[in-house]
Amino acid sequence: MSRTKAYIVSADIITPYGHGVERCWSGLLSGKHALKKVERFDTRPFVSDQAGLIDGIEYGKEDSLVIQALKRLFEKPGHGIPRDARLIVASTKGEIDLLERAVAQGSDEFNQCTVASLLPKAQKLVGVSDSGYVISAACASASAALARAASTVTSGAADCVVVVACDSVSEFVYSGFSSLMALDRTLAKPFDKNRKGLTLGEAAGYALVMSDARARKEGRPIMGEIAGWGLTADANHITGPSRDGKPLALAIRKAMEMGGDGTTIGSICAHGTGTAFNDSMEIKAFTRALGQRTSPVYSLKGAMGHSMGAAGLVEALVALKSLEHGATPPNINLDTVDDEAKGWAFPEQRPFGGATSVLSTNSGFGGVNAALLLSQVT
Amino acid sequence: MADLYGAGWIDNRSYGCARTGSGATHQVGDCGFSPRIKEILPDPFPNFGRLDAASKATCYSVALALEDAGLAHPLACGEGVGIIGASQAGCARSDVRYYKDYIDSGRASGLSNFFIYTLPSSPVSEASIHFGLQGPLLYTGGTENIFAGCAALAMELIENQEASVMLAGESGPEGALFMVLAARSSMEQAPWRSGAETMAVLRQGGSFPHIARKLADIGNKIVP
């Protein structure tokens, strides 16, 4: 009897390029970034004033920023998420703008501002009966949640799981990354020799993960398979990644082993924050894991900014689009490829015909790493 | 199913190891768990004073749990040894500490040493770094019984062979309880409690010392 497979059968995202995976993909192919000046709060004290922002979501509304974004995804009919789907919510800061508001008002009601407090709101919006749980693994939150969803499906614990991921650009987060001197003064330039840091961004999205049997029974369109995954930690530093890339390489190898012998990797959607240490660590990890079998590497963060806990979901969906088209999107803002990244990262779109799988990787504060192997389903 | 090999807890009055029954009472100072309790964490711990209260409690509890399970720490090889933490309020207290300080300083600059503890996964990250845990690292929350939910997720990671050993527990500024769950093939000693027995206790809930006592009170059952 063959192993149960975990298919992504439905998904939607809101990014700084607009609503939908197609809009995000075409925005990336345009070669133009979707970053702009932040007007939500005063950025003058900070080292940057740029971010990837979703049009039309605003501070000061009754709903938090992420709920405004999620409502756009779920309040239109026809998203097709069955009521019996299990629910996983992935985020780093959830409704952090509500906490900002509470602090400003001198309120001590902070229990409604935690990541977990987002869960019942997400449950109601998605319309599932499961009360769900939260996964937070810093900037690898969404990819870790997709891994848990795939694990739940392949183990037979459930045949349908919806992963909802979201994070927003708030004064809280912006001031924090600025205090860490992690922001590029201009725009993030992942894998560039002259990269100076990241640019923050925001996104919200969901992916419906279903067993192959149920997907076929219900006649669902199949976007791709989560064929393997690996989760590891650097055990190195609270903000700095491993210097040798071994733990991320191990996560990649685990994901590839799960995918089975003969897996060929067409491309890698990297975490690619644009910080000196992250991008260097990732190239070292790819070299360790894949050896001389270089695959084109790209990052979305020069285009849309770093959407933290939502990044892994957006990136997995773009990785599947790249697999469908047999080509990577361009590395937006990449001008002079860093010496370490030569042969891996390219400014322009790169074709990779013939491959049936791609990788998507994320890493985050505390040294967390996640790798997803995404495969075509024929 | 994965089995239980040991558990350690700390709260504002006591700390201990559930399996071996060792423990002590202590007083928490004005600054939470500072100064460092060197009986629990004898090794050098750079920047311990910088950790927020939940991270300190997590590190104490993980040290006690590892000791209870007979695992010397820091681990010589932490590949496949992961950690998953849960909490009632996430990192809300650290969030408020960071943001109030930022507001009080005139919104000029946040304190990076406060900001780094504003992730729900920060406490388990600190434990991962100090003890050399290189397996899966996650925070989970939102379930009705977060401790049981956290343990179930840890067992799933072991059963799926994504990790051989998992530290799983709940922590907050007032204390923490962590357990060592593992596949039998990855441990030299016999398990203390079966996974099913462990889950039955966790589902009943209770304070950290209460859960530790309940685990010990299951009796001298031989794990099947």
ipTM of this predicted complex?
A: 0.96
For residue A76, give the amino acid letter: K
Q: Cβ contacts (< 8 Å) between A101 and chain B: which residues?
A: none
- Assess contact for A166 and A91: CB atoms under 8 A: yes
| Cα nearest neighbour of A230 on chain B | B162
Listed residue (B41, B16, B32) closest to B178, CA to CA: B16
What are B149-171's pLDDT values in tens digits?
A: 999 999 999 999 999 999 999 99
Q: Is the Cβ pair A231, B100 closer than 8 Å?
A: no
| Residue A135 touches chain B, beta carbons under 8 Å | yes
Q: Cβ contacts (< 8 Å) between B90 and chain A: which residues?
A: 114-116, 136
Domains and CATH numbers, chain A: 6-217 (3.40.47.10), 227-375 (3.40.47.10)
| Residue A134 touches chain B, beta carbons under 8 Å | yes
| Residue A245 touches chain B, beta carbons under 8 Å | no
| Res A49 pLDDT > 60 | yes
- pLDDT-derived band of residue B28, with 50, 70 and 90 as boundaries? low
Mutate to test the interface with A, among B101, B137, B156, B159 (most CBs of A within 10 A): B137
Average pLDDT over residues B74-96: 92
What is the C-alpha separation between A208 and B139, in angstroms, rounded?
22
| Cα nearest neighbour of B159 on chain A | A155
Mutate to test the interface with A, among B45, B111, B115 (most CBs of A within 10 A): B115
What is the C-alpha separation between A46 and A35, in angstroms, rounded?
16
What are A275-324's pLDDT values in tens digits?
A: 999 999 999 999 999 987 889 999 999 999 999 999 999 999 999 999 99
The residues in A 90-109 lying below 8 A from B, measured between CB atoms, are 92-93, 96, 99-100, 103-104
Percentage of chain B beyond pLDDT 70 is 94
What is the C-alpha separation between A155 and B4, in angstroms, rounded?
22
Least confident of A8-22, A197-211, B68-82: B68-82
Mutate to test the interface with B, among A368, A369, A373 (most CBs of B within 10 A): A368
| Cα nearest neighbour of A152 on chain B | B156
Q: Cβ contacts (< 8 Å) between B141 and chain A: which residues?
A: 114-116, 119, 133-134, 136
Mutate to test the interface with A, among B101, B125, B133, B165 (most CBs of A within 10 A): B125
Q: Could you say which of 3.40.50.620, 3.90.550.10, 3.40.47.10, 3.30.70.20 is the CATH number of the domain covering B3-217?
A: 3.40.47.10
The nearest CA of chain A is from the CA of B119 a distance in Å of: 6
Of the candidates B99, B112, B135, the beta carbon closest to that of A100 is on B99
Q: Is the Cβ pair B90, A89 closer than 8 Å?
A: no
Listed residue (A4, A26, A37) closest to A200, CA to CA: A37
pTM for the predicted model, two decimal places: 0.97
Q: Cβ contacts (< 8 Å) between B89 and chain A: which residues?
A: 110-111, 114
What are B166-202's pLDDT values in tens digits?
A: 999 999 888 999 999 999 999 999 999 999 999 999 9
User: In angstroms, how far is CA A255 from the centroid of its own chain?
Assistant: 17
